[in-house]
Amino acid sequence: MTQPSRTTESMNPDYAAIRDIMHQIRDRLVVPDRAKLAVGLVGHLATMMNRHQMAKLLDQLREEAERVQDVPPLRQRPGADGEVERRLFGE
C-alpha cells in the first residue's frame, strides 16, 4: 500500500493564528531582532525541505520582500504616520 505524498502546505491554514503571531512579532521585536528570527525560521524550515521546496520558499520570500517594499513604510501599518508625528512633534 502506498502512502499519500507529504506536503509542506496545510490544507486549512490557520490565518488567524498566523496573523496573531505576526502582530506579536511586530509589537515585541525591533527590526534587527525580526531579521534574526526570520533567518532562524528559514534555517529551521530548510532542515525539513528538499531542494525544490527550498527554491519555492526562497521565491516566495523574494516576492514578499519586493511586494512590501513597493508600499511606503508609513502605509504598511495603519496609524503609523500619526504615531511618528506624535513622537516628532509631541501631542
- Per-residue pLDDT tens listing for the chain (91 residues): 566 666 656 678 888 898 899 899 989 999 889 889 989 998 898 888 898 988 888 888 888 888 777 666 555 566 666 666 676 666 5
Residues 6 or more apart whose Cβ sits within 8 Å of residue 39: none
Cα–Cα separations (whole angstroms), residue 30 to 25, 27, 41, 48: 9, 8, 16, 28
pTM to 2 decimal places: 0.54
3-state helix, strand and coil shares in percent for the chain, rounded to the nearest 5:
70, 0, 30
C-alpha cell at 51: 531542494
Write the Ramachandran bin of 4: left for phi over 0, alpha for psi from -120 to 50, otherwise beta: beta
Number of CB atoms found within 10 A of residue 41's CB: 10
- pLDDT for 37: 92
Q: Which of 64, 84, 60, 66 is nearest to 74 (CA)?
A: 84
